[in-house]
């Protein structure tokens, strides 16, 4: 593979709406500043396909329905070119699985028939809801009886295989089909380098490499085999999928050293995973915006801020429950994030403490580019992700860099990479989220030391300016792009 030059054509590829992940934009904008001709490629079902040019790079959104090779044929190409010695083994494996598939089909046939009947009944205007519910109830009873005979394994297996079917064919396979077709019909769009974000974009990138000879750089935002959001079962299938494609990747990065170590151990360093964390790009001339002011609600108290998504296992329930042990005459808690069903759960929990809208406040969300500015009016930033959750072992939240740039002291659960950053930057404290009362004790100590909190905030701001920002890590990507 020949080396690329600084003005190479770079595709930043993702299997979702490009605006959904700020890391996509950070990569594109940094690459443009370093002389690359950048195209961000993704899709969104609800938006018409097309091209936009938000800055110095273009964004292409591919449509889901498009001509091109069948997804099953694309998978055959992968196996034939990447793992042709395995084809006889896979044929034997398929032959052994065929009788099992026949048995499962016959066992589940009554359930399928009832499912079809319920669907047709539900569409018929003269059918009452009572009859429809009866059919659905019989179907559910039959299915759970079958599942009970196999001690719950049937539901787990079917759900897992359905998730794989969606992931491999409807999701990743469809993107690969559409992307390859686009490059076949638009020769001028073909890249020199593809930066594939997460395993669902990797198949498309590897197929493009086969067809057009471009380099492929893999960016894993989490450790897929163990922590992918689908939680598919058996997990070994996901490991095989990723490992098969990984053999033909030219370089790889991930978001933290713990995840990089897991990848390098699992794949023997082929490819070797480097680290490019979710360090927010520097925002020049940060200045307070009156619309984000917290003074009126804080009333002279220390302002403790969480910014991010509201979701289970992020430690937010524990923070709200633990707030009753904090002296709320000296501190106020602010939670900012998008409105969703889990936010409503947290609001109800806060109401039960008796402190909602007194010292616990829920703030409206802001756009990604405004998060650092919105944090300027706070004193302490929270990173409460539960450390025992598998997907948090190598967590590198975007909010860490945003808090640093805003000059906030950081209070975090015991997340390995975040802990190392706070120690290096001397800009925060760690609490043991598995120990009852640890959050309230650590926060109370910070509340009683406002000068120390201010010093931590300034240290974090300097650390972000000098070292912890996306441009500071871009040379890692630049070296991989060049080969």
Output the pTM of the full model.
0.83
Let me know whether 301 and 432 are in one domain.
Answer: yes
- Per-residue pLDDT 10s for the chain (483 aa) are 344 455 589 999 999 989 889 999 999 999 999 999 999 999 765 555 555 666 678 999 887 655 555 555 566 565 555 555 555 655 665 676 667 667 666 766 666 676 666 666 555 545 555 555 666 666 566 666 665 655 556 666 666 777 777 787 778 888 888 898 899 899 999 999 999 999 999 989 999 998 899 999 999 998 876 554 555 567 777 887 888 888 889 999 999 999 999 999 988 888 999 999 999 999 877 888 889 999 999 999 999 999 999 999 999 999 999 999 999 999 999 999 999 999 999 999 999 999 999 999 999 999 888 999 999 999 999 999 999 988 888 999 999 999 999 999 999 999 999 999 999 999 999 999 999 999 999 999 999 999 999 999 999 999 999 999 999 999 999 999 998
Quick one: 308 and 202 in the same domain?
Answer: no
How far apart are alpha carbons 117 and 320 in whole angstroms?
Answer: 47
Query: What does the alpha-carbon distance between residue 416 and residue 307 come to, in Å, rounded to a whole number?
Result: 20
Same domain, 50 and 104: no
Identify whether 475 is part of a domain.
no
Mutual orientation of helices 235-246 and 71-82 as an angle, nearest 10°? 60
Edge-to-edge strand list for the sheet holding 360-363 = 360-363, 331-336, 302-307, 380-383, 409-413, 428-431
In a domain, 2, yes or no: no
Domain coverage including residue 179: 9-65+166-275
Q: Give yes or no for a contact between 372 and 404, defined as CB atoms under 8 angstroms apart.
A: no
Per the structure, the count of domains in the chain is 3
Please check whether residue 117 lies inside any domain of the structure: yes
Mark whether 349 and 224 lie in a shared domain: no
pLDDT at 178: 87
Do 259 and 318 have their domain in common? Answer: no
351 and 229 together in one domain: no
> Considering 217, 242, 275, which residue would you say is the last residue of a domain?
275
Shared-domain flag, residues 446 and 341:
yes
Domain boundary among 241, 275, 309: 275
Using CA atoms, how far apart are residues 383 and 403, in angstroms rounded to an integer?
A: 10
Residues 366, 431, single domain; the answer is yes
In angstroms, how far is the first alpha carbon of the chain from the final one?
8
What CATH number does residue 321 fall under?
Answer: 3.40.50.2000
Separation of alpha carbons 159 and 142, rounded Å: 17
Q: Based on the domain organization, do 179 and 214 belong to the same domain? A: yes
Non-local (6+) Cβ contacts of 61 within 8 A are: 17, 18, 41, 42, 43, 44, 47, 48, 49, 50, 51, 52
Q: Are residues 334 and 264 in the same domain?
A: no
294 and 362 inside one domain: yes
Name the pairing type of β-strands 58-61 and 37-42.
Answer: parallel
pLDDT value of position 170 = 77
Residue 131, pLDDT score: 56
Q: Please report whether residue 75 resides in a domain.
A: no
Inside any domain, residue 77: no
Within this chain, do residues 228 and 361 fall inside the same structural domain, yes or no?
Answer: no
Given this model, what pLDDT does residue 45 score? 52
Q: What pLDDT is stored for residue 2 in this prediction?
A: 40
Any domain includes 179:
yes
297 within domain boundaries: yes
Q: Which of 149, 177, 196 is the last residue of a domain?
A: 149
Residue 1: what pLDDT?
38
Which pLDDT value is given to residue 236? 76
Q: What does the DSSP assignment read for 429-471? A: EEE-TTSTTHHHHHHHHHHT-HHHHHHHHHHHHHHHHHTSSHH
């Amino acid at each position: 593979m020949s080396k690329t030059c600084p003005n190479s054509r770079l595709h930043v590829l993702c299997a979702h709406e490009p605006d959904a992940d700020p890391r996509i934009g950070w990569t594109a904008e940094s690459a443009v500043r370093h002389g690359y001709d950048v195209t961000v490629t993704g899709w969104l079902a609800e938006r018409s396909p097309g091209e936009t040019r938000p800055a110095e790079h273009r964004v292409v959104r591919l449509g889901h329905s498009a001509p091109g090779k069948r997804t099953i044929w694309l998978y055959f190409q992968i196996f034939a070119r990447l793992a042709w010695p395995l084809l006889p083994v896979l044929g034997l494996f398929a032959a052994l699985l065929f009788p099992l598939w026949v048995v499962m089909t016959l066992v589940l046939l009554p359930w399928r028939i009832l499912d079809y009947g319920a669907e047709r009944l539900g569409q018929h205007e003269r059918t009452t809801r009572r009859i429809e519910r009866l059919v659905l109830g019989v179907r559910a009873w039959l299915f759970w009886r079958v599942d009970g005979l196999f001690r719950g394994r049937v539901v787990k297996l079917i759900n897992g295989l359905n998730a794989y079917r969606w992931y491999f064919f409807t999701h990743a396979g469809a993107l690969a089909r559409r992307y390859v077709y686009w490059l076949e019909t638009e020769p001028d769009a073909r890249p020199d380098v593809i930066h594939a974000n997460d395993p669902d974009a990797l198949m498309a990138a590897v197929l493009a490499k086969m067809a057009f000879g471009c380099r492929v750089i893999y960016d894993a935002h989490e450790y897929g085999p163990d922590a992918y959001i689908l939680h598919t079962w058996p997990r070994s299938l996901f490991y095989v999928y990723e490992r098969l494609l990984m053999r033909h990747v030219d370089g790889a990065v991930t978001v933290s050293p713990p995840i990089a170590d897991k990848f390098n151990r699992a794949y023997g360093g082929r490819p070797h995973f480097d680290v490019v964390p979710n360090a927010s790009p520097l925002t020049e001339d940060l200045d307070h915006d009156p619309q984000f002011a917290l003074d009126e609600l804080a009333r002279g108290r220390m302002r403790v801020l969480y910014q991010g998504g509201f979701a289970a296992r992020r430690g937010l329930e524990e923070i709200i429950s633990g707030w009753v042990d904090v002296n709320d005459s000296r501190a106020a808690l602010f939670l900012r994030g998008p409105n969703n069903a889990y936010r409503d759960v947290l609001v109800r929990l806060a109401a039960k403490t008796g402190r909602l809208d007194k010292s616990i406040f829920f703030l409206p969300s802001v756009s990604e580019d405004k998060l650092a500015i919105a944090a300027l009016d706070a004193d302490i930033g929270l990173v409460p992700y539960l450390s025992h959750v598998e997907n948090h072992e190598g967590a590198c939240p975007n909010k860490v860099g945003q808090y640093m740039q805003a000059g906030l002291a950081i209070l975090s659960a015991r997340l390995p990479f975040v802990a190392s950053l706070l120690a290096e930057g001397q800009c925060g404290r760690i609490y043991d989220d598995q120990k009852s009362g640890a959050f309230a004790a650590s926060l109370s100590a910070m509340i009683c030391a406002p000068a120390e909190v201010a010093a931590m905030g300034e240290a974090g701001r300097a650390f972000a300016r000098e070292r912890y920002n996306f441009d500071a890590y871009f040379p890692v990507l630049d070296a991989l792009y060049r080969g």
